[in-house]
């Protein structure tokens, strides 16, 4: 067997546990089958122990984060109690893998590069405008025609308005911290970038399904997850991918307000 063939064989074996972990997010978050989801999650980590110990250690970090967030309801309940519970779980799901990686494994793989010292080129700035334009044309049509806007509360009340704004933006930032800076980054240590990106996008879009992006939402969220991973690969900048996400979420927030109250924000086409 040639060195290339040996590498391909090793990669194929490593893909099995990583795929089990990635696919576990579908029943765990999208289908609401926790038994199957947790079983696949455990199978991914355990099988990795027999294939590649380093892969097992990294999959265990991702699995720990997924397990934590599976313990709380992932919905748009804007009561203070639920926001505190969900916020705490999301924070721990990012913090625990970073702490274990940094201080137990003694690695410096999971990083959150904000101040990279590199200015954004013109293409990057134009891309931000393109994100706003795509959100403007796609999001209101998606939310209203499918009725999924009802997965989020009516923000007519000023208190709910600001809580919804905070919730949408906080989850958007967390998505990049966990799915891109943690999950994608760890998977890249073992797989080609394109494959690691596909694996994280399955988890990313499954999580967003439970958050509320249902109906044909995965046709929107899966490409978005892939683009965010690819953008992070190119820019190596958390601040940039967060900017992309928050701009998209700003349009989402405004579209949600409009969907619940059609006479508000009549700038949208729907």
Q: Contacts by 67-74 with C-beta closer than 8 Å and gap 24+? A: 67/38, 67/41, 68/92, 68/93, 68/96, 69/93, 69/207, 70/28, 70/29, 70/34, 70/37, 70/38, 74/29, 74/207, 74/210, 74/211
Task: Please tell me the predicted confidence (pLDDT) of residue 109.
Answer: 96
Residue 257 · residue 168 · CB < 8 Å: no
Nearest C-alpha neighbor of 129 from the set 243, 268, 261: 243
| CB contact at 8 A, 201 and 118 | no
Q: Provide the 10 A C-beta neighbour count for residue 80.
A: 9
- How much is the pLDDT for 59? 98
**Separate counts of helices (H) and strands (E) for the chain:** 10, 0
- CA–CA separation, 236 and 188 (whole Å): 13
CA angle 94, 98, 100 (to 5 degrees): 120
Tokens of 13: 């074996």
* Cα separation, 210 vs 29, whole angstroms: 6
CA-nearest of 186, 171, 162, 172 to 241 is 172
How far is 166 from 78, CA to CA, in rounded Å? Answer: 10
At 4 the pLDDT is 57
What distance in Å separates the CA atoms of residue 71 and residue 31, rounded to the nearest whole number? 15
The shares of helix, strand and coil residues in the chain, as percent rounded to the nearest 5, are 75, 0, 25
115-152 exposure pattern, b = at least 16 Cβ within 10 A, e = fewer: eeeeeeeeebeebeeebeeebbeebbebbbeeebbebb
> Which parts of the chain register pLDDT below 70?
1-10
Pair of tokens at residue 25: 């997010």
CA angle, residues 213, 215, 216, in degrees to nearest 5: 90
């Amino acid at each position: 067997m040639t060195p290339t063939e040996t590498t391909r064989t090793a990669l194929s074996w490593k893909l099995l546990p990583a795929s089990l972990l990635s696919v576990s997010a579908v029943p765990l978050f999208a289908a609401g089958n926790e038994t199957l989801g947790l079983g696949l999650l455990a199978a991914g980590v355990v099988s990795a122990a027999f294939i590649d110990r380093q892969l097992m250690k990294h999959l265990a970090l991702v699995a720990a984060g997924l397990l934590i967030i599976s313990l709380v309801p992932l919905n748009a309940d804007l009561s203070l109690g639920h926001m505190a519970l969900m916020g705490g779980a999301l924070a721990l799901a990012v913090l625990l893998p970073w702490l274990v990686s940094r201080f137990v494994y003694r690695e410096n793989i999971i990083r959150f590069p904000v101040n990279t010292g590199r200015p954004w080129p013109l293409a990057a700035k134009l891309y931000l405008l393109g994100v706003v334009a795509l959100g403007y044309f796609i999001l209101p049509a998606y939310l209203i025609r499918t009725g999924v806007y009802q997965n989020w509360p009516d923000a007519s009340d000023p208190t709910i308005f600001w809580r919804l704004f905070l919730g949408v933006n906080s989850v958007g930032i967390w998505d990049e911290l966990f799915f891109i800076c943690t999950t994608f980054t760890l998977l890249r240590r073992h797989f080609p970038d394109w494959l690691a990106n596909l694996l994280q996008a399955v988890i990313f879009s499954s999580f967003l399904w439970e958050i509320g992006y249902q109906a044909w939402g995965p046709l929107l969220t899966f490409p978005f997850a892939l683009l965010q991973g690819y953008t992070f690969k190119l820019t190596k900048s958390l601040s940039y991918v967060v900017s992309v996400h928050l701009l998209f979420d700003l349009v989402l927030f405004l579209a949600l307000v409009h969907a619940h109250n059609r006479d508000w924000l009549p700038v949208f086409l729907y």
